[in-house]
């Protein structure tokens, strides 16, 4: 009924963003009050006053999180934060969240309360209300769906498709730490599985573990940019890796880009652990994902305004489309930028 099995296309072949693109092509926005539909960090709806900004995320056990090392309280906190990050990436302010949860019968009331204690702490920190949701049974573990709702003045909103040639490319914070924290957790999980008597050795890795287990949304950067009188020409959060997100901005904006390896911010602990794992720290920063930092572009005229903002780094510039997307190495070598970040439908068997 739903497919011709002789002409079957595997989702792993087109990937998450290929699927989104296909679906978006058959669901164009038809209403005047739908200002932005599929294809950005959040949808934007005209309500006659301030536009409403809405984003939703789904987190599935065994795909997005592993409860063997993810505390339920941290999971609840992270589920809220990753959605709020999308709202901030639109240069909007979140006000409410809706949380839906599907649970198998292995979860007790106390476990659910622990999960929602994390939700409560995140709502308290970011000053948003839990305004509703849904609960249901699950036959395959824990599934969380969070919808975040925010508002912004129409002329303050930022999108992915509005970067311009010569704009400066900026990122907040440092990159790759969350991915390396995940590699560390997975390593210790394997060691424990092989030797249950051996306790995990996580000493000295607090920062990397926190970046993976309890990330924060960069509302401070949004506020600092407003205070400095800077409106980004484009912006999104870094959930699937820097390279992947740059591809989105360039493809939506019809541009190319140049970024410089030596300018990409990498924490010293990330670099040390990458070396321990025999990984390239730059590759981890480009493709790791889950940093939830902000990637944004600004007009060159705003350079003096942003250069003094703590935790903002200029890593390159936007070029014309024909120039392509390139990484300039430490020896001035130029290589095509590749997006190899998280893919939801990748075969992981």
Per residue in 157-180, pLDDT tens? 999 999 999 999 999 999 999 999
Relative orientation angle of helices 219-227 and 72-89, to the nearest 10 degrees: 30
pLDDT band of 346, cuts 50, 70, 90: low
Cα–Cα–Cα angle for 311, 315, 317, rounded to 5 degrees: 130
CB 346 within 8 A of CB 289: no
Average pLDDT, stretch 1-18? Answer: 68
pLDDT band of 6, cuts 50, 70, 90: low
Tokens for 111?
Answer: 């476990």
Q: Residues 83-135: pLDDT tens digits?
A: 999 999 999 999 999 999 999 999 999 999 999 999 999 999 999 999 999 99
Q: Residues 142-160: pLDDT tens digits?
A: 999 999 999 999 999 999 9
CA-based radius of gyration for the chain: 21
Q: Could you name the CATH architecture of 168-336?
A: Alpha-Beta Complex (3.90)
Fold topology of 11-155: 60s Ribosomal Protein L30; Chain: A; (3.30.1330)
What's the count of helices (H) and strands (E) in the chain, helices before strands? 10, 13
Q: 258-271 burial, b for 16+ CB within 10 Å, e for fewer?
A: bbbbeebbbbebbb
pLDDT at position 32: 85
pLDDT at position 349: 43
pLDDT at position 16: 67
In this predicted structure, the answer to whether residue 236 has a pLDDT above a threshold of 80 is yes
Residue for token pair 């005229």 = 301
- Bridge partners of residue 295, in order along the sequence: 171, 236
pLDDT band of 5, cuts 50, 70, 90: low
pLDDT at position 7: 75
pLDDT at position 344: 43
Q: Residues 253-292: pLDDT tens digits?
A: 999 999 999 999 999 999 999 999 999 999 999 999 999 9
In this predicted structure, the answer to whether residue 42 has a pLDDT above a threshold of 60 is yes
pLDDT at position 31: 84
Give the integer Cα–Cα distance in Å for 221 and 309: 8
Give the integer Cα–Cα distance in Å for 178 and 208: 6
Q: How far is CA 90 from the centre of its chain?
A: 13
In this predicted structure, the answer to whether residue 347 has a pLDDT above a threshold of 70 is no
Which tops the pLDDT comparison, 193 or 60? Answer: 60
pLDDT band of 329, cuts 50, 70, 90: very high
Name the segment(s) of the chain with CATH classification 3.90.650.10: 168-336
Which residues are within 8 A (CB) of 154 and not within 5 positions of it... i.e. 6 or more apart? 35, 50, 51
pLDDT at position 342: 46
Give the integer Cα–Cα distance in Å for 152 and 121: 24
CB 317 within 8 A of CB 263: no
> 3-state DSSP helix/strand/coil percent for the chain, to nearest 5?
40, 25, 40
pTM (predicted TM-score): 0.90
CB 177 within 8 A of CB 42: no
Q: Is 323 helix (H, G, I), strand (E, B) or coil?
A: helix
Average per-residue pLDDT in the chain?
A: 91
Least Cα distance to 43 among 64, 65, 20, 63 occurs for: 20
Give the integer Cα–Cα distance in Å for 19 and 86: 20
In this predicted structure, the answer to whether residue 47 has a pLDDT above a threshold of 50 is yes
Q: Residues 208-218: pLDDT tens digits?
A: 999 999 999 99
Which residues are within 8 A (CB) of 72 and not within 5 positions of it... i.e. 6 or more apart? 111, 114, 115, 118
pLDDT band of 28, cuts 50, 70, 90: confident
- Bridge partners of residue 294, in order along the sequence: 237
In this predicted structure, the answer to whether residue 193 has a pLDDT above a threshold of 70 is yes
Name the segment(s) of the chain with CATH classification 3.30.1330.10: 11-155
């Amino acid at each position: 009924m739903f497919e011709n099995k002789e002409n079957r296309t595997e989702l792993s072949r087109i990937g998450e963003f290929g699927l989104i693109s296909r679906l978006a092509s058959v669901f164009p926005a038809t209403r005047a009050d739908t200002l932005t539909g599929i294809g950005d960090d959040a949808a934007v709806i005209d309500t006659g006053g301030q536009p409403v900004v809405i984003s939703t995320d789904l987190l599935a056990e065994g795909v997005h999180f592993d409860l063997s090392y993810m505390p339920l309280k941290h999971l609840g906190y992270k589920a809220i934060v990753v959605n709020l990050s999308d709202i901030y990436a639109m240069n909007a302010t979140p006000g409410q969240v809706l949380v839906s949860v599907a649970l198998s019968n292995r979860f007790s009331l106390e476990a659910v309360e622990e999960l929602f204690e994390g939700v409560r702490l995140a709502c308290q920190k970011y000053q948003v209300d839990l305004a509703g949701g849904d609960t249901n049974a699950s036959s395959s573990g824990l599934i969380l769906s969070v919808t975040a709702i925010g508002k912004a003045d129409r002329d303050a909103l930022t999108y992915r498709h509005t970067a311009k040639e010569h704009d400066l490319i900026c990122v907040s914070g440092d990159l790759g730490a969350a991915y390396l924290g995940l590699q560390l957790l997975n390593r210790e999980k394997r060691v424990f599985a092989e030797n249950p008597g051996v306790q995990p050795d996580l000493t000295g890795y607090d920062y990397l573990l926190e970046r993976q287990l309890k990330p924060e949304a960069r509302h401070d950067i949004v506020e600092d940019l407003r205070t400095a009188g800077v409106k980004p020409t484009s912006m999104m959060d870094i959930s699937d890796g820097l390279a992947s997100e740059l591809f989105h901005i360039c493809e939506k904006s019809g541009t190319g880009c140049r970024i410089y390896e030596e300018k990409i911010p990498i924490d010293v602990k990330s670099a040390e652990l990458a070396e321990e794992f025999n990984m390239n720290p730059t590759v981890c920063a480009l493709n790791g994902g889950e940093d939830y930092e902000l990637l944004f572009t600004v007009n060159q005229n705003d350079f003096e305004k942003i250069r003094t903002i703590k935790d903002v780094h200029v890593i390159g510039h936007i070029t014309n489309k024909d120039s392509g997307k390139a990484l300039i190495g430490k020896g001035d070598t130029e290589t095509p930028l590749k997006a190899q970040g998280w893919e939801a439908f990748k075969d992981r068997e």
